[in-house]
């Protein structure tokens, strides 16, 4: 039984100054967590119970799916990460340290290498597969800017699983098993979430989905088709483009366009010069970028911006991408800032990519590669050719669903889970093979599956809190019932004590506010802030032989006879 009189807990009346998002504010105020350093948090008893409840649910679902739990150290040697090249690839986000002999170590950001090596050390036959193993572990990332409290810390708790299969079909099956296990897990956690298509990204692999908990303070943006259910991270959103059916355009025609370095100024001039209506979407924007030191051009309709994240995610292998700067223009005198066109890209040595909207046969108004001159009727396929289409333009609400052409909505969310088919990258790098039926060595194929455990505490708090405090789903709450004794006589306290013990005997998890020195108002406020789903008040109503039962979420209050209180409360709680 949790007793408020002795619990290591001091609720705060004021919001902490450094907390912006609701989960952070409330978890600190309600005494669940305390900041230790930037992006590093300690868990007080209430918070730790909540965290462990989530871990327990995850374990139960992983075990039920037949996955086995293992555990690795957080402190790891450099060598395996050297072999997979992640020691350098991971960049400055990797926490690195040296021991007294000067050897390099790291604090694990994810454990693909260790899992692969563990299985490699034990198994060497196709008969041993498939295998899925998982751990719940603290992970470390030296984020440039930790933020939003528990949501994005530098140390956090994560459940990561890895599957090992002989072939792609096996991987697909393992992936699906994890997907189902995740659905069960997040349902039990009482979360609202969407499963969205994601980019497998630099990790390689063919299929990847994210579990996103919609929430205005989330850091991920995704699109959702409310008609057919298509959902995708904006990076993975597929542009739907109707086939181009326009007539063959006239030949290119250069015209004077003084002082029109921006799309807006160009559109204004077009309407004056040629009669309208012309729109930004009639023009072609040539966005110049440096990709790993190489100049590239990306073509997007003039009314769209390039989404750098989206572009990079769709240009596999590119590590670093940034917009052209004045210094880059200086090095490429053929490129006239504000008047760039794709016609001369090849001549200028630019690699040319285009958003799928720049369909073959479409014609555009674009720069003439000459100051104060533009050109119209520039036609894709006739006047320029591209290396390939690449998803790169910003995604907007109202863009059409690639499945059913319905306008999509855009929403923000917290990423709480990510599953993806890794393929053979790690097994290859670490030389993990098994013998197949024919006695031949085969590189195994892997999947990797993560759940942000500590982040889930915050995500649930974000989705379930209200103005007055936290409001947990029962299975994750630190207790089922919060019993408050009020008054100055012994009777309510003794009664509450007895009631608490009887409810515990029935399997209920009980928190008892047995503080003699706190006023009723303080106890009610604390109970609401802490957010245990049911609150029982033993006080005034005792005079009529009753206690009061409140539902934290709905704020409904009912009085029940003390004589039947245990079974009445039990019935209400278990029905929830």
Give the footprint of RNA on this chain (CB under 7 A): 10-18, 20, 29, 35, 37-39, 93, 109-110, 139, 141, 143-148, 152, 158, 201-203, 219, 308-309, 312, 321, 415, 418, 420, 450, 452, 468, 486-488, 516-522, 524-526, 528-529, 537-541, 548, 557
Tell the smallest beta-carbon distance from residue 520 to RNA (Å): 3
Spatial distance between the Cα atoms of 372 and 255, rounded to a whole number of angstroms: 9
Tell the smallest beta-carbon distance from residue 339 to RNA (Å): 26
| Helices 453-464 and 45-64, axial angle in degrees (round to 10) | 110
Closest CA to 63 of 135, 8, 6, 121: 135
Cβ-based nearer residue to RNA, 278 or 420: 420
Cβ-based nearer residue to RNA, 70 or 522: 522
Tell the smallest beta-carbon distance from residue 551 to RNA (Å): 12
**Which residues have C-beta within 8 Å of that of residue 119, sequence separation ≥ 6?**
131, 133, 164, 432, 444
Which residues in 233-264 are b (16+ Cβ under 10 Å) and which e?
bbbbbeeeeeeeeeeebeebeeeebeebeebe
Cβ-based nearer residue to RNA, 480 or 526: 526
Tell the smallest beta-carbon distance from residue 555 to RNA (Å): 8
Tell the smallest beta-carbon distance from residue 506 to RNA (Å): 22
Tell the smallest beta-carbon distance from residue 524 to RNA (Å): 3
Cβ-based nearer residue to RNA, 1 or 522: 522
Task: Kindly tell me the sign of the dihedral angle through the C-alpha atoms of 51, 38, 22, 28.
Answer: positive
Spatial distance between the Cα atoms of 476 and 365, rounded to a whole number of angstroms: 58
State the CB neighbour count (10 A cutoff) for residue 220: 20
| Helices 565-575 and 490-505, axial angle in degrees (round to 10) | 50
Cis peptide before 175, with omega less than 30 degrees from 0? no
Beta pairing class for 481-485 and 510-513: parallel
Cβ-based nearer residue to RNA, 71 or 488: 488
Cβ-based nearer residue to RNA, 110 or 463: 110
For the CA atoms of the chain, what is the radius of gyration?
30
Cβ-based nearer residue to RNA, 195 or 203: 203
Tell the smallest beta-carbon distance from residue 505 to RNA (Å): 24
């Amino acid at each position: 039984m949790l007793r408020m009189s002795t619990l290591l807990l001091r609720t705060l009346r004021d919001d902490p100054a450094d907390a912006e998002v609701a989960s952070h504010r409330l978890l600190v105020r309600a005494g669940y967590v305390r900041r230790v350093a930037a992006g590093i948090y300690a868990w007080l008893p209430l918070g730790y119970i909540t965290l462990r409840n989530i871990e327990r649910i995850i374990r139960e679902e992983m075990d039920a799916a037949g996955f086995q739990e293992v555990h690795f150290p957080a402190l790891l040697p450099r060598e395996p990460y050297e072999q997979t090249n992640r020691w350098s690839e991971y960049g400055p986000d990797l926490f690195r340290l040296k021991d007294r002999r000067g050897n390099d170590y790291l604090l694990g950001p994810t454990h693909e290498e260790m899992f692969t090596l563990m299985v490699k050390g034990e198994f060497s036959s196709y008969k041993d597969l498939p295998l899925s193993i998982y751990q719940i572990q603290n992970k470390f990332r030296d984020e440039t800017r930790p933020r939003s409290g528990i949501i994005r810390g530098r140390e956090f708790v994560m459940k990561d699983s890895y599957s090992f299969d002989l072939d792609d079909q096996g991987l697909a099956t393992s992936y699906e098993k994890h997907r189902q296990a995740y659905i069960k897990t997040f349902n039990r956690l009482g979360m609202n979430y969407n499963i969205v298509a994601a980019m497998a990204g630099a990790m390689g692999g063919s299929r990847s989905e994210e579990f996103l908990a919609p929430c205005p303070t989330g850091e991920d943006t995704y699109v959702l088709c409310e008609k057919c259910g298509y959902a995708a991270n904006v990076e993975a959103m597929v542009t739907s483009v109707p086939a181009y059916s326009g007539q063959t355009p006239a030949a290119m025609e250069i015209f004077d366009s003084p002082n029109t370095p921006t799309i807006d100024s160009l559109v204004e001039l077009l309407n004056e010069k040629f009669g309208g209506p012309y729109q930004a979407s009639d023009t072609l924007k040539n966005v110049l970028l440096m990709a790993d030191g190489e100049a590239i051009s990306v073509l997007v309709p003039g009314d769209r911006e390039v989404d750098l994240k989206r572009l990079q995610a769709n240009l596999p292998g590119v590590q670093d991408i940034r917009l052209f700067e004045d210094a880059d223009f200086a090095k490429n005198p053929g490129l006239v800032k504000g008047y760039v066109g794709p016609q001369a890209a090849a001549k200028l040595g630019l690699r040319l990519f285009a958003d799928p909207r720049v369909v073959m046969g479409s014609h555009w108004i674009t720069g003439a590669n000459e100051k104060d001159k533009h050109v119209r009727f520039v036609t894709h396929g006739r006047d320029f050719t591209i290396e390939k289409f690449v998803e790169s333009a910003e995604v907007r609400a109202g863009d059409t669903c690639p499945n059913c052409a319905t306008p999509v909505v855009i929403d923000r969310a917290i990423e709480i889970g990510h599953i993806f088919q890794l393929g053979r990258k790690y097994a290859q790098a670490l030389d993990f093979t098994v013998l197949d039926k024919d006695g031949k060595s085969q590189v195994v194929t892997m999947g990797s599956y993560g759940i942000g455990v500590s982040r889930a505490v915050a995500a649930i708090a974000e989705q379930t809190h209200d103005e007055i405090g936290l409001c947990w789903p029962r299975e994750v709450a630190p207790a089922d019932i919060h019993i408050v004794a009020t008054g100055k006589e012994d009777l309510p306290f003794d009664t509450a004590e007895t009631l608490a013990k009887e409810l515990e005997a029935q399997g209920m998890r009980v928190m008892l506010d047995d503080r003699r020195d706190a006023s009723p108002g303080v106890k009610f406020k604390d109970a609401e802030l802490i957010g245990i789903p049911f609150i029982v008040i033993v006080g005034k109503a005792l005079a009529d032989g009753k206690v009061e039962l409140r539902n934290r979420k709905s704020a409904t209050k009912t009085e029940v006879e003390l004589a039947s209180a245990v079974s009445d409360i039990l019935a209400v709680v278990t029905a929830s």
